[in-house]
Every structure is written in structure tokens, then in C-alpha cells.
Homo-oligomer: A and B are copies of this chain.
């Protein structure tokens, strides 16, 4: 059984040696660029880990892991067009470095390449393809629901959780389930890992929302307060707006509407309201709740403790804390 770091090296070395055709250059160079940007490789590592739970080796999961990582990067590429984002992981986005048409088309090609990898899995291929297609479609639904939120001032917490489940959590769950399936797991184990993945995925996204306000820039990797500046509907903002404390809610709404306020003032004032409403505590509790649910699903699987502990350790390292 490899260490997490070794599995990350496996994935990074796989992509460092990944064959991408040379021509047409404007189709394939953006794909190579996108795949070389790195990131934590969370999904492929989870996929390889899940495979090793049921197989001697992570190797049967390489195609599934690659397909999921390529698909993930495809969604980032197209999301960046839709969000007009200039930077991704500190580097210029594809549509900025080339142009929108090139980003659109090379994204399309990445989605096809991703499917080619999933179709190349050698074990329980039909099941893998079905889970992958359902996941991929839910990710599109999640992205659309997220865009719909921009014009909706009455988003409920359950609507928000549905959105992040589709946009983020299902791909984490799919990574684990596909790894399990190609590793030879039965339906029960594969489904337990899927459910664990949904809970971990929800926790990761809530953690991301939390760190946007309460994180440290050098650890978080993004500017603090970006969601607040953009009036982005996060778990924190929706909980705050749904609070019974009408005075603070009215104040919060006034700040959100105020277009002359500076970014730093806005971040400071909104954070103060979150603190008064104890939204930080609420959010941390919710994150712990989802991690615990994920852990419970993992505990139900009949594998040795070493396997379980490796996965828990990885999940905690992503979250940046223990549970």
C-alpha cells in the first residue's frame, strides 16, 4: 500500500508523461497547459486509494483516475469562461492566454478524452460508464443551478446543499466509486464509498466557503473575502440571511446593496456580522457533521484499518484539520 504522497507522485508523473498530440496546436496546447497546472490531484488519488482497498494494486484504476482528473480540469476550463475568471491556481486561464473559442473547443476535446479513459477501464466498465455519465450530467446541473443563484435572492440552505452536492460532491463520490469498481468491489462497498464521497465532498466545499472568510491567504491560496466582495451566495451568507436576528439581517442586506463601500470595509463588516450571528461556529459544526457522516460510511466497509486510516489522513490533510 503506497503512502498518499507516493500516490500523488504517481498521478503527477502520469500527467508529466501524458501523450498529447501536437497538431492542431491550438486544440492540444491548451489541454497540455490545463493538465500541467497541477493542483492537489484529490480526485485521482482518492480513486487510486479506493482501488487499493479491493485490489493488490492501484494500477487497474489509472484510466478511471485519469479520466476523472481530465474531466475535472475540463469543467474548470469551461467554468472559467462562464465566470470570466482571469486566473486559476495563480496562472492565466486558458481563455485569457488564448481566446474563448479555443478554450471552448479544447474543453470539448478534454471531455471526450476523459470519456475515452473511462471507457478503457477493464473491470465493471458498463457500471463505471453509467456512474460517470450520471455524475458528469449532475455537474452540469450544479453549474447551471449555481448560475441561477446569481439572480435569486431567496436561496435556501437545502437548495444550496443540492447545488454543491451536484457541482462538487458527486465527482469526489464518483472518484471513490469508480476506484472501488475497477478494484473489484461489490455494489455494497462501492455504494458506501460513494456515500462517503458525497459527505466528504460537501465538507470540502463548506470548508472552502469557510476559509474564504476565516482562512489565511498563504494557506488558502486565494485572497480572503473574495466571496464577500462578489456577494457570492455561500453557506455562510445564506445561513446569515436566514437568521432570526432581524437587526443583523437588515444590516447585512444593506451592506450587500451598498455599491460605494470599499472591498476591505465590506469584508470587515460582513465578517463582524457573521461573528455576531455565530455563523463561523455553525459552519464548522456542519463541516464536522459531514466529515463524521463520511467516516461512518467508511467504517461500514469491510477493509483493514490501515486502508481506512490512510484515507482519513488524506481527507484531514485536504481539510487542514483533524476530526
Q: List the interface of chain A (C-beta within 8 A of B).
A: 23-24, 26-27, 78, 81-82, 101-102, 104-109, 111-113, 115-116, 119, 125-126, 129-130, 133, 136-137, 140-141, 143-145, 147-148
Contacts and interface: CB of A to CB of B under 8 A. Distances in A.
11 contacts: A24-B141, A24-B145, A26-B147, A27-B144, A78-B108, A82-B105, A108-B108, A113-B137, A119-B126, A119-B133, A129-B129
Contact of A140 (B108, B125, B136, B147): B108
Contact of A125 (B26, B82, B126): B126
A105 B143 contact: yes
A109 B137 contact: yes
A144 B112 contact: no
Given A115-B115, A119-B119, A82 B104 contact: yes
A111 to B, nearest CB: 6
A85 B82 CA distance: 19
B78 A140 contact: no
Contacts of A108: 78, 107-108, 111, 140
Contact of A144 (B26, B78, B136, B137): B26
B111 A137 contact: no
A71 B78 CA distance: 18
Given A104-B78, A133-B119, A112 B126 contact: no
